[in-house]
Amino acid sequence: MSTAVGPERATARRSGDGILIMSLATACGCDCVFCGLPDSRPHTVLDRSALVTALEHPPDGDRWEEVNITGGDPLVIPAARRLFPDLLARRDRYERLSVSSAGVPAGPALTGLQALDDGHPLDLYVSLDGVGEVHDRVRRRPGAFAEATRFVAEARRRENVHIALTCVINRLNVDRLDELADYAEAQRLPVSYAVVNRSDHYINSLPLYQDVSLDAEQSARAVDFLTRRSRQRLDTDLRRVLRGEPRELPCRLLHKGVLLTSDGATAICGTSQRMVLAEKLPSDGAELAPAWTAALDRRPQLLAAGAGQTCQTCTTNCFAWRTSDGPVPS
Ligand code: SF4
Ligand code: SF4
């Protein structure tokens, strides 16, 4: 269900709707044990024209509720940063901007933050999977924890930047999660938890998954940890999935989210091939907007074909449905 955009677009702005997640580049400064992006070749960078088209063509209305930029690491990779001016020039196309980063190495990540910070509110999600050597082992980068914490310390000096930590529970950190929760508490930073997930699309974690997934005992320990230390909306469902039951809380991505990856693919989210709306947007300017609209219009078809079943076992730290999103779509 797309809305025509162009000269006839109403001049009065209404509230935005939907979440646009854009992966600006596959490269980053880490080599995480559960992520296939560092091994992807060739590394890709999102076309400027695709970014502009996505920003200017939300599925409903004339602006997005939220735009999130991710990677790879959009703050660290110079080619990703070169897209920031086009993103910031279209502030009227979204209500909120968020960025996901590992903050490693700290120097380039802070350079990226400086380039992205135009004084408006900015949500900064920093991935932190442990304290000290636990984090270094998950990132497969010695000194990663020291870099990430230096980045956080500098970033929090910016009053308009709101920092939240995100942690992926996996085999390497499942027994050390309390240390992370203690760190977050001491820093007075919110932290949200996901459990390492299978993905056969974009980040392609399948070749790595068997070495980092939780066994039954570790899943039980993760359930215990979440029960004791976490208060996020998804906890009940995460515990359900870890016990082998389907999750119940719908995900906003499924109904209101679009992922545009740096290779030009459009998807509902990055978890499954079943959720790919279009493999590659054309680079030709005249064809781009119609192709984007056609990709978005495929959502009902994918849902009718059962793409939503992927969500039942999803442990990604996704966007849980909120009361303010209105009635849950059937
Ligand atoms: S999970 Fe993020 S920080 Fe880690 S390798 Fe992948 S893109 Fe980089
Ligand atoms: S629940 Fe998981 S699989 Fe479903 S849309 Fe959200 S992130 Fe994607």
CA distance 47 to 261: 10
Q: In this structure, is residue 10 part of a structural domain?
A: no
Q: In this structure, is residue 8 part of a structural domain?
A: no
Q: Quote the pTM value.
A: 0.93
Closest residue (by CA) to atom 7 of ligand 2? Answer: 318
Q: In this structure, is residue 330 part of a structural domain?
A: no
CA distance 136 to 261: 27
Asked if residue 72 lies in contact with residue 37, where contact means CB atoms within 8 angstroms, the answer is yes
CA distance 52 to 62: 13
CA distance 269 to 251: 10
Q: In this structure, is residue 36 part of a structural domain?
A: yes
Is 326 buried (19+), middle (13-18) or exposed (0-12) by CB count in 10 A?
A: exposed
> Tens-of-pLDDT digits for all 330 residues of the chain?
333 333 333 344 457 789 999 999 999 999 999 999 988 888 999 999 999 999 999 988 889 999 999 999 999 999 999 999 999 999 999 999 999 999 999 999 999 999 999 999 999 999 999 999 999 999 999 999 999 999 999 999 999 999 999 999 999 999 999 999 999 999 999 999 999 998 888 888 888 999 999 999 999 999 999 999 998 888 899 999 999 999 888 899 999 999 999 999 999 999 999 999 999 998 878 899 999 999 999 999 999 999 999 999 999 877 878 777 778 776
What CATH number is attached to the domain comprising 242? 3.20.20.70
* Distance from residue 142's CA to the centre of ligand 1 (Å): 15
Residues 6+ apart with CB under 8 A from 154: 106, 110
| Nearest atom in ligand 1 to 102's CA | 3
Q: In this structure, is residue 191 part of a structural domain?
A: yes
Q: Give me 26's structure tokens.
A: 């596959």
CA distance 327 to 329: 6
Q: In this structure, is residue 4 part of a structural domain?
A: no
Q: Which 3 state secondary structure label does DSSP give 321?
A: coil
Mutate to test the pocket of ligand 1, among 21, 22, 30, 203 (most ligand atoms within 8 A of CB): 30
Q: In this structure, is residue 83 part of a structural domain?
A: yes
Distances (CA, A) of 271 to 68, 203, 205, 316: 17, 8, 9, 8
What is the amino acid identity at position 215?
A: D
Q: What angle do CA 167, 271, 105 make, to 5 degrees?
A: 40
| Residue of 260, 256, 268, 270 lying closest to 324 (CA atoms) | 256
* Distance from residue 322's CA to the centre of ligand 2 (Å): 15
| Nearest atom in ligand 2 to 197's CA | 2
Q: Which 3 state secondary structure label does DSSP give 94?
A: strand
For the chain, how many structural domains are there in total? 1
For ligand 1, whether the C-beta of 37 sits within 6 Å is: yes
CA distance 84 to 116: 6
* Distance from residue 8's CA to the centre of ligand 2 (Å): 34
- What residue numbers bound the domain in which 212 lies? 19-325
Q: In this structure, is residue 249 part of a structural domain?
A: yes
* Distance from residue 123's CA to the centre of ligand 2 (Å): 21
Closest residue (by CA) to atom 1 of ligand 2? Answer: 311
Counted residue by residue, the chain has a size of 330
